[in-house]
Chain A
Amino acid sequence: MNIYFQTLNRDLRIALRNPSSVLNPLLFFIISVSLFPLAISPEATTLSQIAAGIIWVASMLAVLLSLNALFHHDFENGVLEQMLTSHHPLPLLILAKITAHWLLTGIPIILLSPLLGVFLFLDEQGIKVLMLTLLLATPSLSLIGSIGASLIVGIKNSGMLLSLLILPLYIPILIFATSAVSQAQFGLEISSQLYFLALFLVLSLMSAPFVSALALKISLE
């Protein structure tokens, strides 16, 4: 278990010493959300209806943007080979890297979402549920994304391929998360959507590190 925290610590340290890699997806997230009121309408009624959708789509694309770097550097400099030959279980090392990725992209997105919600006239209940869905689902985005990132690790200029592989798997999360927020705005029951997001999180937590480990082994052959 010690190696989990050492890997996490290493990844966080590398990211904080190279802040542009962390800040780029977040800036993309903020900018893309803030362009919508200019392009569609500054009216509160219009914006509050589409706020959850905009924030969710932007956060998904921001996560996607940051996924390319998840294994890329370690592949280039040979650390992945060392991880593979190590006697520590590879899924545990990958889970640590995914955790670092979530802490560096998921958490800032969750923290920024209320501010962007206010931008888009989302009401208080809507903001609360938006944050809750992001909290439940952004770890799933990182976990599922790691599978795609590990499959394309040896391929150059593979950004498009990653989107094609991963976006279809993100669609159910998008549908249930946005429907939870819009139902909450009308004061309706949202537990079924939250249960689904929680189920998705548990499933991806149990499977993604193992599938990614397998995919990495194939990519490194």
Chain B
Amino acid sequence: MKLKNPKKSSHRLGINFGNQPHTVSLLNIHNLSCQRGYNQLFDNLSFQARAGDILRITGTNGSGKTSLLKILAGVNTAEQGEVVWDQHPVKSDGYQQEVFYLGHQAALSGELSSLENLEYLSALNKTTEQHQLIQALNDIGLKGYADEYCANLSAGQKRRVILACLFVSKAKIWLLDEPFTALDPLGVEIVESRITQHCANGGLCLFTTHQDSALLNQRMIAL
């Protein structure tokens, strides 16, 4: 595993995180290995991420970015290794309620309206108030689309609905797989500013993207 930091290339991830206090929540990934079919995607991957970090996972197609995020989300199981957030191992209740995973698919049902989809998804994650959901749709640029069936939305608009769900969730760990796909430049800007805000408020964000990202202070994990 190679670790890079855009500012200090000698900086080893997980060792030097500035002067943050020790009580900050810590996501500890230890000796993770993942195999798909006959391919060993990564082996003995270890790093730590603290609340407030923005981590960008980079790598070529098929290098295991999505697999890593799925393992961290508790969808997949690693061949070996452990993932722990504040003494809660992955797949435990204490861990899962801190995680929001945004996968490749929009997770929306075409037969339901944007608001109905959002209500259900936010109930699955951590629930928020109804008025916040409509506000979240407005904030992401879907004003007037609350009652529109998701089957009638464009790919970018569908992406925005699930992103609205992310922004109202109370989860601390955001695992975003290609969050900027299908979004226009304004949409990308909104998502980037929300990620920055979330991490400034003590959240943690791990994401993958093949696009240029203007996010400040992002650390890289190369697979």
Contacts and interface: CB of A to CB of B under 8 A. Distances in A.
A6 B120 contact: yes
Contacts of B196: none
B121 A82 contact: yes
Nearest to B98: A87
Interface stretch (B22-30, B56-64, B103-111, B213-221): B103-111
A2 B108 CA distance: 20
Given A10-B116, A87-B93, A82 B123 contact: no
Interface in A79-134: 79, 81-88
Contacts, number: 72
Given A3-B124, A86-B124, A79 B109 contact: yes
Contact of B103 (A2, A14, A18, A78): A78
Interface residues of B, number: 29
Interface on chain B toward A: helix, strand, loop, or mixed SS?
loop
A43 interface: no
B31 interface: no
Nearest to A18: B111
Contact of B112 (A2, A14, A85, A86): A14
Contacts of A81: 73, 75, 101, 103, 105, 107
Contact of B123 (A6, A73, A74): A6
Q: 4 closest A-B pairs (Cβ-Cβ)?
A: A78-B105, A87-B97, A78-B107, A86-B124
Nearest to A88: B124
Contacts of B77: 221
Contacts of A73: 109
